[in-house]
Structure 1
Amino acid sequence: MHENCIVVHAGAGYHSKHKETEYIQLCSDACLRAAAILTQDNSKFRSINAACEAVAFLEDNHLSNAGYGSNLTLDGSVECDAGVMCGSCLRFAAVGSLSCIKNPILVAGHLLSQQIMDPFSRLGRVFPSLLVGKGALDYAVNAAGFSRIQEVEMISPSSLASWKKYKNWIDHVDKDTCHSMSLHHVSSKKARFMTPLDTVGAVCVDSFGRVASAISSGGVAMKSPGRLGQACIYSAGSWAECSPEEDGKVTESVGVITSGTGEQLIRTQLAQKCAQRVINDTLPVPLAVEASLSTDFLNSRFLNGEPDQRFAGVAGCLWRSLPFVRKRRSSEACVEIFFGHTTQSMAVAYFVDNTMKIPKSFISRKPLGRRHLVGAFSHRLLSC
């Protein structure tokens, strides 16, 4: 067994410098919440539970665009998306356009655990991997036992104030174009503030190298009701994958979580493509991430005809066991934490249990003129 590893992000977009300390502390605390689960939970779902716990913690904070404080739709309602993936069995579960549930990610986590334990329901019906709207709410309350809350309880004072401000801007736009396209008719400065992309996510690797990824989002500000973002779409918002186990051991695993413009991330399937480059490429991890952002996103043919503004952020880790050397008398592993973004900034934190005393948490800011920014950290892990 090796040390546990956690990576979290609080979104790629624009993070106010006035709130930088708050974002840094929030991400650090989320890492510690996940670390506690990985240490105390002895179940086979511990990496899933830890990732969901970290994201649920982020959902509860008004700084994030997930759960409480989510961006509001054009009509002023709350609709959340969340998804979680298990790297060991490669199963994925998600909810979309969900309201009146405090922590959407926990519903997705419950859906995933049911899918793993009992992939077929009665009469052989396939267990769902994605539920949306009323179906997701009914499942959360009636099947999973979550409490239904009033929608107003999910609206923070700041999200309501932002909605009123954005609505006023849009109301001054030509009524014939006042739908989701309205963002293209406001000034670029206003558009920057109308599109906070602070989706939140977590990747957790347990002491056996088993990985899970989880992600949650309230979606883009002033979105059309019913719109789904990348958080609930397979291979677009998150990815987790382990090598087939040999003698009960994982030799390598990778987890990726994304943030950015949902429609662009869906069309490029960025989470899976980034993960595959990182785990399969002969390039060093930072160069593999850079290649993914450049080739799979910024220059992707699937975004032909899109505006020049292409927003994406990725974060995650690559875990690999190292060849056994008898003279060391212990097995070793290496974990490489990475992040990259095309947006102005990205909030990231990571923690390697027993190797670090406290999480490393920071706001990465892209210099002017750069198309993207990539960073990585490497840690060698001794067996516990």
Structure 2
Amino acid sequence: MSKIALAIHGGCGVMAKLDLREEEWTAARADLHRSLQAGWAVLNAGGSALDAVQASVLVMEDSPHFNAGYGAALNTDGEHELDASIMDGRTLEAGAVTLARRIRNPIKAARRVMEKGEAVLLGGSSADEFARAEGLDIVEPDYFTTERRVRALAAMKAHAAAGTAVKASEAEKHGTVGAVALDRAGHLAAATSTGGYNNKPAGRIGDTPIVGAGTYARDGICAVSGTGKGEFFIRYAVGHEVASRMNYLGENLEKAATNVIIEDLKPHEIGAGLVAVAADGSIAAPYNTDGMFRGWVTPEGQFFVATHSEVFAVS
């Protein structure tokens, strides 16, 4: 019997501490805690890592505090285009959807794509129709819209007009949610979901639905879910790179994950972070921004959540 472990992130696009009232930070941490509880309940009952990561991501897709599902970012046309993926480290099977507009919980659709086995990635209206045919919840596009994302889109358009987009805060730019888990059978899984970044070009696809970039899991090594400027996560195949450093160089999880996020991506001066869990139950959550919504449960069952440098133990 293996140890069990779980880690989540709600994106590295975290606002400065003074940008929200303390009660809003408290609410965001409460939803991180609920996400951990959902995934941990699955693992603690002997369930699979795959079910656990889906359960955790579902909570964050339904929360307005994170850029996935309800509360997702708006593209340059003021529309939502949602991405998600999930991967089973036991078989290396994976499923993903991209540019979805009506799927209430894109992670559920990604799971169905994986289970059908006819494709790894479905996009656009075909992803929406697939989800509808599978009986998943379909919503009107404005379901996903929140006032916070409307303001963020306006801010990014203002930056674009002024030529100051590179100076925009991480909160104005992007965000993602994800989960990684190790179950009692020793299997690993990862799941990631996002609305992309605010004011992104219509039709843009980032790293979240790209297996090996924003999401990766391989039994015996690690599971990874990333957050940040997706174009660079694709170029560096970040999820696979972390696993490769461990597999080929013999690095432990913390060193491999930190090398990729802090060192490899440094020349590009982009916001980036990830959560990862190794086959031994160790957890890593490096990031290079002011903060990253994140949380984890140790193999001993201790819960922790954080937004910036301060880490809160929760029960």
TM-score, normalising length: structure 1: 0.74
Q: Which residue of 1 aligns with 2:214?
A: 237
What's the offset of the Cα at 1:146? Answer: 1.2
The one-character-per-residue Cα deviations of 1:316-342 (angstroms, maximum 9, x if unpaired) are 11123xxxxxxxxxxxxxx21111112
What's the offset of the Cα at 1:230? Answer: 0.5
8 Å CA contact retained: 2:13, 2:171: no
8 Å CA contact retained: 2:229, 2:272: yes
What's the offset of the Cα at 1:25? Answer: 2.3
The one-character-per-residue Cα deviations of 1:19-47 (angstroms, maximum 9, x if unpaired) are 433333222211110112234465xxx22
Q: Which residue of 1 aligns with 2:12?
A: 12
Q: Which residue of 1 aligns with 2:179?
A: 202
What's the offset of the Cα at 1:10? Answer: 0.8
The one-character-per-residue Cα deviations of 1:324-376 (angstroms, maximum 9, x if unpaired) are xxxxxxxxxxx2111111222212211136x22x411113449xxxxxxxx9x
TM-score, normalising length: structure 2: 0.89
Which whole-Å CA distance do the structure 1 matches of 2:169 and 2:274 have between them? Answer: 22
8 Å CA contact retained: 2:84, 2:96: yes
8 Å CA contact retained: 1:254, 1:279: no
After superposition, the Cα gap between the structure-2 partners of 1:136 and 1:318, relative to the gap in structure 1 and judged at 3 Å, is same
Aligned partner of 1:138 among 108, 129, 145: 129
CA RMSD of aligned residues (A): 2.2
Which whole-Å CA distance do the structure 1 matches of 2:307 and 2:70 have between them? Answer: 22
Q: Which residue of 1 aligns with 2:151?
A: 161
Bigger Cα displacement from structure 2, 217-226 vs 338-347? 338-347
8 Å CA contact retained: 1:237, 1:259: yes
Which whole-Å CA distance do the structure 2 matches of 1:190 and 1:269 have between them? Answer: 25
What's the offset of the Cα at 1:189? Answer: 4.4
Which whole-Å CA distance do the structure 2 matches of 1:193 and 1:211 have between them? Answer: 30
Q: Which residue of 2 aligns with 1:47?
A: 49
Which whole-Å CA distance do the structure 1 matches of 2:229 and 2:204 have between them? Answer: 12
8 Å CA contact retained: 2:81, 2:99: yes
Q: Which residue of 2 aligns with 1:57?
A: 59
After superposition, the Cα gap between the structure-2 partners of 1:5 and 1:97, relative to the gap in structure 1 and judged at 3 Å, is same
8 Å CA contact retained: 1:90, 1:241: yes
Which whole-Å CA distance do the structure 2 matches of 1:291 and 1:169 have between them? Answer: 31
Q: Which residue of 1 aligns with 2:305?
A: 361
Paired amino acid for 1:310: I
Bigger Cα displacement from structure 2, 75-84 vs 17-26? 17-26
Give 3-state SS (helix, strand or coil) of 1:231's partner.
coil
Bigger Cα displacement from structure 2, 272-281 vs 26-35? 272-281
Which whole-Å CA distance do the structure 2 matches of 1:191 and 1:50 have between them? Answer: 32
Alignment of 1:274-313 (within 5 A): 274-298=242-266, 308-313=268-273
8 Å CA contact retained: 2:14, 2:307: no
Q: Does 1:254 align with 2:222?
A: yes
Alignment of 1:1-384 (within 5 A): 1-17=1-17, 18=20, 19-40=24-45, 46-115=48-117, 127-142=118-133, 144-170=134-160, 172-173=161-162, 185-186=163-164, 189-190=167-168, 192-195=170-173, 197-242=174-219, 252-298=220-266, 308-320=268-280, 335-352=281-298, 355-356=300-301, 358-365=302-309
The one-character-per-residue Cα deviations of 1:39-85 (angstroms, maximum 9, x if unpaired) are 4465xxx2212111111110111110000111101111110100011
Q: Which has the larger Rg?
A: 1
Which whole-Å CA distance do the structure 2 matches of 1:77 and 1:310 have between them? Answer: 24
Give 3-state SS (helix, strand or coil) of 2:119's partner.
coil
Paired amino acid for 2:96: A
8 Å CA contact retained: 2:121, 2:209: yes
**Residue-pair matches, total:** 306
8 Å CA contact retained: 1:72, 1:79: yes
The one-character-per-residue Cα deviations of 1:187-220 (angstroms, maximum 9, x if unpaired) are 654454531x321100011111101100001001
Which whole-Å CA distance do the structure 2 matches of 1:310 and 1:168 have between them? Answer: 20
8 Å CA contact retained: 1:229, 1:263: yes
After superposition, the Cα gap between the structure-2 partners of 1:193 and 1:38, relative to the gap in structure 1 and judged at 3 Å, is closer
After superposition, the Cα gap between the structure-2 partners of 1:41 and 1:103, relative to the gap in structure 1 and judged at 3 Å, is farther
Q: Which runs of 4+ in 1 moved over 6 A?
A: none
Give 3-state SS (helix, strand or coil) of 2:232's partner.
helix
Paired amino acid for 1:336: S
Give structure 1 stretches of 5+ with no counterpart: 116-126, 174-184, 243-251, 300-307, 321-334, 367-374, 376-384
Give structure 2 stretches of 5+ with no counterpart: none
After superposition, the Cα gap between the structure-2 partners of 1:187 and 1:298, relative to the gap in structure 1 and judged at 3 Å, is closer
8 Å CA contact retained: 1:5, 1:351: yes
Give 3-state SS (helix, strand or coil) of 1:202's partner.
strand
> Kindly, what percent of the aligned residue pairs are identical?
25
